[in-house]
Amino acid sequence: MSFLSATLDRVKPSPTIAISTKAAELRASGRDIISLSAGEPDFDTPQNIKDAGIAAIQAGKTKYTAPDGLPELKQAICDKFARDNGLTYAPQQISVGTGGKQILYNALMATLNAGDEVVIPAPYWVSYPDMVRLAGGTPVIAGTTLGTGFKLTPDALERAITDQTKWLIFNSPSNPTGAGYSWAELQALTDVLLRHAHVWVMSDDMYEHLAFDGFTFCTPAQVEPRLYARTLTTNGVSKAYAMTGWRIGYAGGPEPLIAAMRKIQSQSTSNPCTISQWAAIEALTGPQTYLAENARLFQRRRDLVVGMLNDARGITCPTPEGAFYVYPDISGCIGKTSGAGTAIVDDEAFATALLDETGVAVVFGAAFGLSPAFRVSYATSDDALQEACLRIQRFCAALR
Ligand SMILES: Cc1ncc(COP(=O)(O)O)c(C=O)c1O
């Protein structure tokens, strides 16, 4: 009898860890490494938010809270949904968790039974399929193409839905591609969902505020109010307010689902960190001006990276609408041999050789379910991005 749970057999170790471990080892051995693999903003939490956390500690706000959040934070989240998304939620329809990740996980744990399917467009955030498997469900991957900017088409969604489908996980702007769906593109998908009354939508809006070129963010329950009763709208403060380490995510949705998620959280983490909850209240209710400033900064970096990558031989890099990632296609590099003699048989070989030969760390596309490609996070300084892209250009130019 195995000591470890059979559940673990259903879950893969994170494929991104191999490359980040290797990058860390090379750096420790003295190599000049530029990592383009971070999933978080490279700047600090704004001062007013840090001050709110410090004030909470000083005021002794350091005890347990209700399992799924302080009433004050739930109200701030209701106000945020009304202000930014035109969505009306009452406080009892709000759940606060330890990061967006725990919210998604709670929702899957609260709803999935063996045999239930969850449609996940690829490329996807690496955690979705494994969280579905951990919760006992079956991920059903719906592919996208470079041609649609890696966006799910209504046909592909229709084909992926079966009688067993419980959820569609929808993520816009996307990790790893940065693709953001316009109102019309999203409506084409919600039209499909209207025809399948048993399918719920888990909308992961984590990158809402990182949108460029005047792109207007929208979310499924807003675009199609008839889906409101079967939509969980999830979000968090991690990326928008540079608060990844504070661990606060949240969702609005139907009360019975929120109650089920509360039950799971009450028997796992009890409640998200109290101090972080007070800081999140300040994030959501305080000045919002840095959101637009950060988006402008990231847009400039996106333009730098997309321009330089498209100048690299064999790479085609679409210009995404948001987040801080790009997802260049490397079909033109596969089957070649690197300057140091490595056969580039797939995108993992490409990323490994790129790291070995140039010191640039990226995450290969297979980790996100769509190859051949790689993900660049441009949440790093302009100088580092410029140098990394130059090295990628040289690496590609040397492929034979
Ligand atoms: C698409 C997406 N959703 C959710 C999360 C989780 O965010 P948090 O750090 O709040 O758990 C991430 C983090 O990388 C993400 O990229």
Q: Ligand 1 pocket check: which of 95, 124, 206 to mutate, most ligand atoms within 8 Å of Cβ?
A: 206
Q: Which atom of ligand 1 is nearest to the CA of 103?
A: 11
Q: Is 249 in the pocket of ligand 1 (CB under 6 A)?
A: yes
Q: How far apart are CA 400 and CA 343, in angstroms?
A: 10
Backbone angles phi, psi at 228, to 5 degrees: -50, -40
pLDDT of residue 22: 83
Determine whether the shortest distance from the Cβ of 272 to ligand 1 is under 6 A: no
pLDDT at residue 272, rounded to an integer: 98
Q: What is the rounded CA–CA span in Å between residue 114 and residue 100? A: 24
- 10-residue averages of pLDDT along the chain (400 residues): 87 76 89 91 95 98 98 98 98 98 98 97 96 96 96 98 98 98 98 98 98 97 98 98 97 98 96 98 97 96 98 97 98 98 97 96 96 97 97 98
Q: Is the CB of 129 inside a 6 Å radius of any atom of ligand 1?
A: no
Report the separation in Å between the CA atom of 395 and the middle of ligand 1, taken as the mean of its atom positions: 31
Tokens 């441009």 locate to: 378
Cβ partners under 8 Å of residue 385, min gap 6: 36, 301, 304, 305, 378
Sheet holding 249-252, edge to edge: 94-97, 249-252, 231-236, 200-204, 165-171, 117-122, 138-143
Q: What is the CA radius of gyration of the chain?
A: 21
Crossing angle (nearest 10°) for helices 289-310 and 382-397: 20
Pocket of ligand 1 contains residue 171 by CB under 6 Å? yes
Relative orientation angle of helices 255-266 and 99-111, to the nearest 10 degrees = 110
pLDDT at 214: 94
Q: Using most ligand atoms within 8 A of CB, pick from 14, 37, 127 the residue to mutate for ligand 1.
A: 127
- Residue 375 CB–ligand 1 contact under 6 Å: no
pTM of full prediction above 0.95: yes
Q: Assess whether the C-beta atom of 359 lies below 6 angstroms from ligand 1.
A: no
- Ligand 1 and 101: CB distance under 6 A: yes
Q: Which amino acid is at 79?
A: D
Cα gap 83→320, rounded to integer Å: 25
Q: How far is CA 324 from the centre of its chain?
A: 10
